[in-house]
């Protein structure tokens, strides 16, 4: 016997039923557990660094997480221009929280995560993602079902960010119309909700389903895009729901000033990227317009 250690590959299962899959080599597994809510594994990969997968679906990687977290956060906050209170549903790794708290004008962030294990093990094994954000006194961290929280809460928020898993298992409820309607009740006038809606080239039905529901709830129901290497199959869509029609048409000059006034640095977001993200290719327009 050679004693050679067999390689382990963590297979991305999201598209298995559609005849496609990919895999990441797990050079070192840092943690693995069935948490009671879902199967969680954190491992190291030579290309993407530390990675987290839930139920076989990649959630975050050390190398490209900044793209997703910056675009989910700075687009709604800078489009709004006067955000004081933010609600995050999901986001247990802390990346969205990190970017929200970089805005010093934000006075309070409520983060609702269903699975405490995701947060605890992300803090331990991927601390660079949250970068100390969990210690910020502006944070109100709640471990609860996000759908139930928005139904029962009486607080209001300028921005709601739904950093959910895909509509499988615990994340499924966060794609229902009842959840979106309850979330709208939590928005202040002129507020905006942003949702994770997958890769439309591969998951067109997911995006179309959210926009169809948004159309019955908000005056403006659309999406914007960002290209994140980990999420294969094309750019990822972020759903956008608001009653303020001006938020998708903020001028580059105003966005540039708001960004400068925020005194933050980014690795993906720019005010030019912000505006361009709402320019949708025809195949995405066909999904969100032909409803």
Residue 102 has pLDDT above 70, yes or no: yes
Instruction: Please enumerate in sequence order all residues whose Cβ is within 8 A of that of 206, keeping only pairs 6 or more positions apart, or say none.
Output: 166, 167, 175, 197, 198, 200
pLDDT band at 152 (very low <50, low <70, confident <90, very high): very high
Residue 3 has pLDDT above 60, yes or no: no
Determine whether 286 is an active site residue: no
Task: State how far the Cα of 194 lies from the Cα of 80, in Å rounded to an integer.
Answer: 12
pLDDT: is 99 or 21 the higher one? 99
Please determine, for residue 1, whether its predicted confidence score (pLDDT) is greater than 80: no
Residues 110-139, mean pLDDT to the nearest whole number: 94
d(CA 135, CA 262): 21
> Where does the pLDDT of residue 46 fall: very low under 50, low under 70, confident under 90, or very high at 90 and above?
very high
Q: Catalytic: which of 55, 158, 163, 166?
A: 163
Lowest mean per-residue pLDDT among 12-16, 26-30, 152-156, 182-186: 12-16
Is the pLDDT at 244 greater than 90? The verdict is: yes
Tokens of 65: 């997480």
- What span, in angstroms and rounded, lies between the C-alpha atoms of 200 and 259? 28
- Per DSSP bridges, beta strands 9-12 and 22-25 are antiparallel
What's the pLDDT at 149? Answer: 96
As a whole number, the mean pLDDT across the chain is 93
- The pLDDT assigned to 175 comes to 84
Query: What residue ranges define each of the domains in the chain, with the CATH number in brackets?
Result: 9-61 (2.30.140.10), 65-289 (3.40.50.150)
Q: Is the pLDDT of residue 93 over 60?
A: yes
pLDDT band at 191 (very low <50, low <70, confident <90, very high): very high
Kindly report the three-state secondary structure assignment for every residue of 240-289.
EEECCHHHHCCCHHHHHHHHHHHCCCCCCCCHHHHHHHCCCCHHHHHHHH
Distance (Å, rounded) from C-alpha 234 to C-alpha 57? 16
**Cβ count near 117 (within 10 Å):** 18
Residue 138 and residue 109 in contact, taking contact as beta carbons nearer than 8 Å: yes
List strands edge to edge, sheet with 157-163: 139-143, 108-113, 85-90, 157-163, 187-196, 236-242, 220-226
């Amino acid at each position: 016997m050679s004693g050679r250690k067999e390689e382990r590959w963590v297979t991305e299962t999201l598209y298995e039923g559609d005849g496609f899959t990919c895999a990441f080599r797990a050079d070192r597994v840092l943690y693995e557990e069935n948490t009671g809510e879902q199967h969680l594994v954190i491992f190291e990969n030579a290309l993407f660094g530390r990675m987290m997968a839930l139920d076989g679906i990649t959630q975050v990687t050390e190398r490209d997480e900044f793209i997703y977290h910056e675009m989910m956060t700075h687009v709604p906050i800078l489009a709004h221009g006067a955000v004081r209170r933010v609600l995050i549903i999901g986001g247990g790794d802390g990346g969205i929280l990190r970017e929200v708290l970089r805005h010093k004008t934000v006075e309070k962030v409520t983060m609702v995560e269903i699975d405490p294990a995701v947060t605890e093990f992300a803090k331990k094994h991927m601390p660079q993602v949250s970068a100390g954000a969990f210690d910020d006194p502006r944070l109100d961290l709640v471990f609860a079902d996000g759908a139930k929280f928005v139904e029962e809460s009486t607080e209001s928020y300028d921005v709601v960010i739904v950093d959910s898993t895909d509509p499988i298992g615990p994340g499924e409820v966060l794609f229902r119309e009842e959840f979106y309607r309850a979330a709208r009740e939590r928005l202040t006038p002129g507020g905006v909700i942003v949702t994770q809606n997958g890769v439309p080239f591969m998951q067109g039905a997911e995006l179309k389903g959210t926009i169809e529901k948004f159309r019955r709830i908000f005056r403006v129901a659309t999406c914007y895009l960002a290209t994140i290497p980990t999420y294969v199959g094309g750019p990822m869509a972020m759903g956008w729901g608001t009653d303020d029609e001006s938020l998708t048409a903020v001028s580059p000059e105003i966005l540039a000033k708001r960004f400068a006034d925020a005194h933050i640095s980014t690795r993906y977001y720019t005010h030019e990227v912000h505006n361009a993200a709402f320019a949708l290719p025809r195949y995405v327009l066909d999904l969100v317009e032909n409803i």
